[in-house]
Amino acid sequence: MKSRPQWKGSLVGGRYELVSLLGQGGMSQVYLAKDNKLKGKRWAVKEVACVGTDETAFLEEAEMLAKLGHAQLPQLVDYFITAGGNGYLVMDYIEGPTLQDLFEKNQRELPIKLIIHIAFQLLDIFHYLHTFQPRPIIYRDLKPSNVMINQHNQVRLIDFGVARQFKQGQTSDTMQMGTIGFAAPEQYLGLQTDARTDLYTLGSMLYYLLSGGHYVYSKAKPLELRQDDIPETLRTTIHFLLQDQPQNRCQTAMEVKLRLRSLTPDADLLITESHLEAPLHQSNTTDKLIVIGGLFAGVGATFTAITLARILHALQIPNALVEQPTIEPDLYMLLYGDRHAPSPYMFPSDHICDPTSTFTTPWINGFTTWAPINPDGFQGTWQVSHAFKLLHMLKKPIILWDVSTQWEHPAVQELCYSADEIIVLVDSLPGKCDRPSSRKRIEQFASYQQRGKKVHYIANGVLPPHVRMDWQNSLPSNPLCTMPLIARSEVIQAMWKGDCIQDQPQHLNILFDALKPFLSEILPYESLNQFALQPRKSIFSRFNKRG
């Protein structure tokens, strides 16, 4: 007969009676405890031996947990250190198996859909932790035994024993913590950990779950050879998560989520906004984020963005054009917002930064939703999280994001990490591409290409053939398209009338032909063919009308 454990029935903190052992590791034990003050209430009580500096670490974990307010993270209700030198964290008790338990119960094989569903929830949790204020929180120890799953397949992340707050500029961590088989290289080397460390551990865990329990450091085969039905998007994303150098990995949780968005229903991705209208049109076009800007100022990025929006409108593909809130306002005036915007109208960027506001009717023009900034200028502080909330709020099959020349803004860089396509407008004036700012941006675009991003250069204006070749050789790659010249007088005349010149058939047809090489990159052939089937007016059509 087994003897009764010495701890069983012990009372800690004067009220928590230890009932059973839920789990244990090298440094702590977690017990199920009943509350002798709140009858019927049960808690998970974590016991940690606090000796010397361990007491400081315990208090740091307790204070960190006390600040968290996320439904899928442990809720701390009490903490204390006893006279005997043991620290106790009292947290809400979560019923259910760990992901490791579930994995083993199913002979180390889980449905890919379930693994993706779990990954998306973990990415949401990481986004919350990594954007926590005043300092991000780095979890550092993701593994299946630290993930709990309830009967609805909802995830709870437990055990923050090795989590830490990120300190900018620090070159190394005070402790080299993590779990062998899942930890990132910088954890083994004692270097600084950051959000990308958690993303590496996510990649390690996904590899483990998808390979039948093989650790990534001992892998003999790539994932596609271990299991041939893993979606390519998932495999390539895991590849980017598992790069040894942090700068070569996916950079944020939101970037990973956007990479994987085609693998899960839209409802799992959206930030709920019940007041938004449903899409006008269902399209077979895969969701795409397209970032558009100029290599330098005044090169026609906004004109090109409007052109793409109206071509998509003509193809009956719902789209949205977003004006980066930190640039000089332009779009509202170009579209004659005072005349065409709905009334009342609230600028989406203002709404995002003021959660108490009531979002009014979106500005929809056919299949295009316009999202300009206030012509008086954006007054708030635009952060990365705001960009992604706006991106999801304006959920459309294709979102065009005009960044002008603000490639260095943190939110723009974040969007570029997540973008499906990046368009850079250039013109042929000598010397502009050789400016220091242009060279720096070209290096930045090259770094995106190295990480698998598609960067397209589009030229604005036509050059004679003998000059064009010399100019193209000065660019990192040949322009994919060339925007045609449209008489300035016609553009001005349309603007004074409050019209969009891109909606005039004779101009839209020319612009479509010019941008067709890029459109072929993002749209299926059937969609492009729909535009080609539209009747085109000849230069004599206006005379036929008069006759």
- Per-residue pLDDT of 28-67, as tens digits, reads 788 889 998 888 889 988 888 887 667 877 887 788 778 8
Q: Are residues 107 and 62 in the same domain?
A: no
**How far apart, in whole angstroms, are the C-alpha atoms of residue 298 and residue 427?**
9
Q: Please list the ranges in the chain whose pLDDT falls under 50.
A: 1, 162-167, 169-176, 265-285, 538-547
Query: Of 92, 119, 151, at which residue does a domain stop?
Result: 92
What pLDDT score was predicted for residue 492?
A: 76
Token pair in block for residue 182: 């899942």
| 31 and 176 fall within a common domain | no
Tokens of 332: 């509202």
Q: Does a structural domain hold residue 3? A: no
- In Å, how far are 95, 101, 132, 202, 545 from 172, measured between CA atoms? 37, 34, 21, 21, 75
In the set 124, 141, 194, 427, the catalytic residue is: 141
* Residues composing the chain: 547
Q: Which is it for strands 164-165 and 137-138: parallel, antiparallel or unpaired?
A: antiparallel
Residue with tokens 């900018």: 168
Q: Which of 440, 456, 453 is nearest to 414 (CA)?
A: 453
In a domain, 260, yes or no: yes
Tell me what pLDDT residue 112 has: 92
Tokens standing for residue 96 = 């259910």
Whether 509 and 455 map to the same domain: the answer is yes
453 and 481 belong to one structural domain: yes
Query: Are 175 and 290 within one domain?
Result: no
Cα gap 43→92, rounded to integer Å: 5
Instruction: Name the strand (E) or helix (H) holding 332.
Output: helix 331-334
- Does 274 map to a domain? no
pLDDT given at position 209: 94
Angle among Cα 184, 190, 195 to the nearest 5 degrees reads 45
- Are 509 and 542 members of one domain? yes
pLDDT given at position 534: 58
Which residues are 457's β-sheet partners?
Answer: 424
The CATH code of the domain that includes 55 is: 3.30.200.20
Rounded-to-10 torsion of CA 72, 73, 76, 82: 140
For position 454, which CATH number holds?
3.40.50.300
Q: Are residues 367 and 308 in contact, defined by beta-carbon separation less than 8 angstroms?
A: no
Domain edge (last residue) among 73, 92, 111: 92
* DSSP code for 503: G
Is residue 276 assigned to a domain? no
In whole angstroms, give the CA distance from residue 417 to residue 427.
Answer: 25
Active site residue 141: yes
Residue 6 lies in a domain: no
208: helix, strand or coil: helix
Q: What is the CATH number of the domain that holds 136?
A: 1.10.510.10
- Domain assignment present for residue 1? The answer is no
Regarding whether 113 and 235 lie in a shared domain, the answer is: yes
Q: Which of 30, 60, 57 is nearest to 45 (CA)?
A: 30
Q: Could you tell me the sign of the dihedral formed by the alpha carbons of 481, 336, 523, 538, in that order?
A: negative
- The residue among 92, 113, 143 that closes a domain is 92
The answer to whether the CB of 425 falls within 8 A of the CB of 294 is yes
Distance CA 50, CA 472 (A): 66
Dist. CA 21–CA 29, nearest whole Å: 7
Angle, CA 315 vertex, CA 313 and CA 318 arms, to 5°:
50
* Tokens (6 digits) for 32: 């199920």
Does residue 164 share a domain with residue 49?
no
What is the structure's pLDDT at 355? 66
> What range defines the domain where residue 456 resides?
281-546
| Domain count across the chain | 3
Please give the order of strands across the beta sheet that includes 76-81: 11-12, 16-24, 28-35, 42-49, 86-92, 76-81
- Position 305 scores a pLDDT of 96
User: Which residues neighbour 272 within 8 Å (Cβ) at sequence distance 6 or greater?
Assistant: none
Same domain for 164 and 313, yes or no, is no
Q: Which positions ≥6 away from 118 have C-beta within 8 Å? A: 99, 147, 149, 153, 155
* Nearest residue to 258 (alpha-carbon basis) of 455, 416, 129, 410: 416
Q: DSSP letters along 95-136, please?
A: -S-BHHHHHHHTTT---HHHHHHHHHHHHHHHHHHHT-SSS-
Q: Are residues 48 and 138 in the same domain?
A: no
Give the H or E element holding residue 294: strand 288-294
Q: Are residues 427 and 498 in the same domain?
A: yes
3-state secondary structure of 371: strand
pTM of the model: 0.61
Pair 348, 205 in one domain? no
**How far apart are the C-alpha atoms of 337 and 149, rounded to whole Å?**
49
Whether 237 is covered by a domain: the verdict is: yes
Q: CA 187, CA 178: separation in Å to the nearest integer?
A: 7
Residue 65 covered by a domain: yes
